[in-house]
């Protein structure tokens, strides 16, 4: 007897339909084979299926069982074929018909229950695109799949329940996406902006970065508050819009970053990998390419603390992702494209000891050590960072004596309101473009959307000559000025906007 069950294989963010063909034959010696470029994880599925069926008050057929995963030339990996294989085998015993236009996936536990499986949202999207009506998913993964409207998602707890439903003995209602099931990967920022003492300019830079999606580099002595500023950033980031939410959810879904029972991710991710990270950890990769930190930070923040401590090769690999916002990982078996549009926040000390040009402590580094330290980060990388900010050491005494200074500080909630408003302006502006933020503008966009007043242009020209700005920096300054003008709700970039943007230009002494 031959049964066909529909499932799908993930390849990056794409899915390919897979027919799980199960042949249970009474001729030949009893056995169980899986063919069709199955990986080790798929092959092990035999043992899980055998035990799960046995433990679900059913007899595992003592026949020759052959499972073919078609198309046979597409590599298949993961544990998601447990359910379709089991459903196919059970059909030969129980004699039910496989429902039409239905997709099955899910990992089995030996006791017959279904476990949370990665990639649920991608399965559901694939199902909708290819005209499937039903998706059968493990109960823990169903809320995630239910995010996709237009397909019925059935949440299955166990094989027994599945069999009951397929035999029409029990009823099952399709799962419904509920707002309260959203996952907050980063619920709250660790700090409120109001907690950061002083640093008015750096806070302003963070506000501009959050609003326009600009990258930031902070340079300052130890203890000046660089890390605190970065960690307070999630608190002023706007919420994800629907489309962005889905993009982020997809990435976390294949990376296994969505907890059982979780569904849509609505807050922006904040990733802060340690500086010992490998190139593949940062960029993504592996035999079956997995998203790296840059992709997991998509639509959110990638915070690289101690920027100069990262291995140079790792930093250099950031160049193209930062510029393009997408990344193609090519391996011999697969080529996968992941999005990676993030705000890069980097922080660094001015020199190895950290006290170069500190007003109170002398620096103990020789010029050679300083230049060696700085050379770890190349010019091209620094050139791709929009906002360059110096974070000076804070005189804590001043704040101890003067409480009112900290009372003046705005809370993250107030700043976020402004940031939100500026994001809305950008959304309206780029309605017909494929970008969301000012930082993503290409030169053609700049011509259309970021027109400089005559005086503003003159100032920029002067600054470019005086500070010897690169062509890329020149464009970046226009983008920053665009965001600043958006804060002022001005259509054209005026003098004061350009002048403020100049505060964040790259400093010559950093790029030597």
**Residue in 150, 462, 468, 491 binding another protein, rule: CB under 8 A:** 462
With binding defined as CB under 8 A, does residue 203 bind another protein?
Answer: yes
What's the gap between Cα 324 and its chain centre?
15
Please report how close the Cβ of residue 295 comes to another protein at its closest, in angstroms.
Answer: 33
With binding defined as CB under 8 A, does residue 451 bind another protein?
Answer: no
Q: Which stretch binds another protein (CB under 8 A): 25-33, 137-145, 200-208, 290-298?
A: 200-208
CB 325 within 8 A of CB 340: yes
**Residue in 46, 358, 384, 482 binding another protein, rule: CB under 8 A:** 358
With binding defined as CB under 8 A, does residue 459 bind another protein?
Answer: yes
Residue 230: CB partners within 8 Å, gap ≥ 6?
A: 218, 272, 301, 303, 305, 345, 347
Residue 255: CB partners within 8 Å, gap ≥ 6?
A: 118, 290, 291, 295, 296
With binding defined as CB under 8 A, does residue 273 bind another protein?
Answer: no
CB 320 within 8 A of CB 327: yes
Q: Which stretch binds another protein (CB under 8 A): 142-150, 247-255, 269-277, 390-398?
A: 390-398
Q: Specify burial of residue 423 (Cβ count, 10 A radius: 0-12, 13-18, 19+).
A: buried
Q: Which stretch binds another protein (CB under 8 A): 159-167, 193-201, 228-236, 316-324?
A: 193-201
**Residue in 30, 256, 367, 379 binding another protein, rule: CB under 8 A:** 367
With binding defined as CB under 8 A, does residue 362 bind another protein?
Answer: yes
CB 232 within 8 A of CB 191: yes
With binding defined as CB under 8 A, does residue 101 bind another protein?
Answer: no
Helix (H) or strand (E) holding 254: helix 242-254
Among candidate residues 500, 400, 418, the one with its CA nearest the CA of residue 459:
500
Considering beta carbons, is residue 42 or 498 the nearer one to another protein? 498
**Residue in 244, 390, 440, 486 binding another protein, rule: CB under 8 A:** 390
Q: Which stretch binds another protein (CB under 8 A): 28-36, 162-170, 271-279, 361-369?
A: 361-369
In angstroms, the Cα distances linking 494 to 423, 452, 459, 472, 498 are 20, 7, 10, 20, 6
**Residue in 16, 110, 405, 471 binding another protein, rule: CB under 8 A:** 405
Please report how close the Cβ of residue 462 comes to another protein at its closest, in angstroms.
Answer: 6
With binding defined as CB under 8 A, does residue 356 bind another protein?
Answer: yes
Considering beta carbons, is residue 73 or 512 the nearer one to another protein? 512
3-state SS, residue 417: helix
Residue 331: CB partners within 8 Å, gap ≥ 6?
A: 285, 286, 287, 288, 289
Q: How many residues bind another protein (CB under 8 A)?
A: 41
Among candidate residues 209, 342, 212, the one with its CA nearest the CA of residue 283:
342
**Residue in 368, 428, 434, 444 binding another protein, rule: CB under 8 A:** 368
Helix (H) or strand (E) holding 422: helix 412-429
For residues 89-99, b (16+ Cβ closer than 10 Å) or e, as one string?
bbbbbeebebe
Please report how close the Cβ of residue 415 comes to another protein at its closest, in angstroms.
Answer: 12
Q: Which residues form the interface with another protein (CB under 8 A)?
A: 198-204, 220, 350, 356-368, 371, 390-392, 405, 408, 459, 462-463, 466, 484, 487, 495-497, 499-500, 502-503
């Amino acid at each position: 007897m031959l049964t066909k069950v529909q499932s799908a294989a993930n390849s990056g963010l794409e899915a390919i339909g897979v027919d799980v063909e199960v042949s249970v034959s009474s001729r030949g010696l009893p056995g169980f084979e899986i063919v069709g470029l199955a990986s080790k994880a798929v092959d092990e599925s035999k043992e899980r299926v055998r035990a799960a069926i046995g433990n679900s008050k059913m007899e595992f057929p003592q026949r020759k069982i052959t499972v073919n995963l078609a198309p046979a030339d597409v590599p298949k990996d993961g544990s998601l074929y447990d359910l379709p294989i089991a459903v196919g085998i059970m059909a030969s015993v129980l004699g039910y018909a496989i429902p039409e236009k239905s997709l099955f996936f899910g990992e089995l536990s030996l006791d017959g229950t279904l476990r949370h499986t990665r990639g649920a949202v991608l399965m559901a999207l694939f199902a909708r695109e290819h005209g499937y009506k039903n998706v059968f998913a493990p109960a823990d993964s169903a809320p995630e799949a239910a995010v996709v409207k237009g397909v019925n998602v059935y949440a299955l707890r166990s094989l027994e329940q599945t069999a009951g439903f397929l035999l029409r003995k029990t009823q099952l209602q399709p799962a419904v996406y509920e707002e309260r099931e959203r996952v907050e990967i980063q619920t709250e920022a660790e700090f409120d902006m109001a907690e950061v003492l002083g640093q008015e300019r750096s806070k302003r830079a963070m506000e501009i970065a959050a609003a326009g999606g600009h990258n930031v580099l902070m340079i300052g002595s130890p203890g000046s508050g660089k890390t605190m500023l970065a960690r307070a950033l999630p608190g002023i980031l706007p919420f994800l819009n629907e489309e962005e939410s889905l993009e982020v959810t997809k990435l976390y879904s294949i990376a296994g970053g969505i907890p059982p029972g979780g569904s849509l991710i609505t807050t922006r991710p904040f990733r802060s990998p340690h500086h010992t990270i490998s190139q593949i950890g940062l960029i993504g990769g592996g035999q079956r390419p997995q998203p790296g930190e840059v992709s997991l930070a998509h639509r959110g923040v990638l915070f690289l603390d101690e920027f100069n401590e990262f291995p140079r090769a790792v930093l250099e690999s950031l160049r193209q992702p930062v510029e393009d916002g997408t990344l193609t990982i090519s391996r011999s078996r697969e080529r996968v494209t992941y999005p990676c549009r993030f705000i890069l926040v980097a922080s660094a000390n001015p020199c190895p000891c950290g006290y170069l040009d500190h007003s109170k402590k002398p620096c103990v580094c020789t010029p050679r050590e300083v230049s060696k330290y700085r050379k770890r980060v190349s010019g091209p990388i620094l050139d791709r960072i929009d906002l360059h900010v110096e974070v000076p050491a804070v005189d804590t005494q001043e704040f101890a004596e003067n409480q009112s200074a900290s009372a003046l500080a705005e809370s993250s909630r107030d700043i976020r309101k402004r940031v939100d408003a500026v994001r809305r302006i950008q959304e309206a502006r780029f309605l017909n473009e494929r970008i969301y933020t000012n930082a993503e503008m290409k030169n053609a966009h700049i011509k259309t959307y970021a027109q400089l007043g005559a005086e503003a242009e003159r100032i920029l020209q002067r600054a470019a000559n005086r500070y010897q700005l690169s062509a890329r920096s020149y464009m970046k300054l226009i983008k920053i000025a665009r965001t600043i003008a958006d804060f002022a709700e001005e259509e054209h970039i005026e003098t004061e906007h350009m002048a403020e943007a100049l505060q964040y230009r790259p400093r010559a002494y950093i790029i030597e």
